[in-house]
Structure 1
């Protein structure tokens, strides 16, 4: 019985050492890549900067937002989406995620947000914000 207990202890230590060894080898093989970091992703712009641009864009748009059947001003919509971003940032690792996961539909009802522009054009929030994000990225590139 004593030998079996001793064997289990040695096995646990061996597994711990092997795990540590292989995890260190993995880090040594990719020294510039932190765990959970996308490989070869250029840090061209902070996602927060892009999301903040989108929220400011919404606020200044003078568009009417329809959320769950109710109309909201652009300022109200911007405040609502800023709150969603603060509370659910884990679902928005990028500005694209912000649009797709937080700014396009109600997390409560699942209904898509729509936007009525001052010109009278009616769009989905997803397409409107995606177009603005593309425009913003293209104008900010060197």
Structure 2
């Protein structure tokens, strides 16, 4: 009986997974825009892709995860979609200009901090 209750609780948690809030959707859209407009390259499984291809790939992953109810915050988007390959387990890298590549987790995390700092500054006016 306890096992049945545990299974029902887990299943109900998936059934009632929340959609991202409007603020989260806005932040994720801004992260996609930042990547697409960055001119940076994106390494996935050992191959480099331009920002457009990277954005397209991450959009597909994001849409899949949304359908599963696995993205509810901007941080969960970064962690589950933008950090590494779900197939190979290899981390994604971002390389901008002549700079050394950085883990995409760091790149997206820094962009998110910048977006939030900008939004907080804009709210003080």
Scaled by the length of structure 1, what TM-score is found?
Answer: 0.67
- Matched residues, number: 102
1:96 aligns with 2:75: yes
CA deviation after TM superposition for structure 1 residue 119, in Å: 3.4
Mark the runs of 5 or more structure 1 residues left unpaired by the alignment: 1-34, 38-42
Partner residue in 2 for 1:64: 41
CA deviation after TM superposition for structure 1 residue 112, in Å: 0.2
Q: For 1:121 and 1:61, locate their aligned partners in 2 and report how far apart those are by CA, in whole Å.
A: 15
SS of match in other structure, 2:48? strand
CA deviation after TM superposition for structure 1 residue 122, in Å: 1.3
CA deviation after TM superposition for structure 1 residue 36, in Å: 7.4
For 1:49, which of 20, 26, 37 is the aligned residue? 26
1:105 aligns with 2:92: no
SS of match in other structure, 1:111? coil
Deviation string 1:61-90 (CA, Å, 9 cap, x unpaired) is: 111111001110011001111111111122
Q: Which runs of 4+ in 1 moved over 3 A?
A: none
Partner residue in 2 for 1:135: 114
CA deviation after TM superposition for structure 1 residue 60, in Å: 0.6
Scaled by the length of structure 2, what TM-score is found?
Answer: 0.75
Go from structure 1 to structure 2 and tell me whether the alpha carbon gap of 1:66 and 1:36 turns closer, same or farther (over 3 Å shift). Answer: closer
**What RMSD, in angstroms, separates the aligned Cα atoms of the two structures?**
1.8
Q: For 1:66 and 1:92, locate their aligned partners in 2 and report how far apart those are by CA, in whole Å.
A: 22
Q: For 1:100 and 1:119, locate their aligned partners in 2 and report how far apart those are by CA, in whole Å.
A: 26
Taking CA–CA contacts closer than 8 Å with sequence separation of 6 or more, which of the two structures ends up with the larger relative contact order? 2
Partner residue in 2 for 1:10: none
CA deviation after TM superposition for structure 1 residue 121, in Å: 2.6
1:123 aligns with 2:79: no
Task: Answer with 1 or 2: which has the greater Rg.
Answer: 1
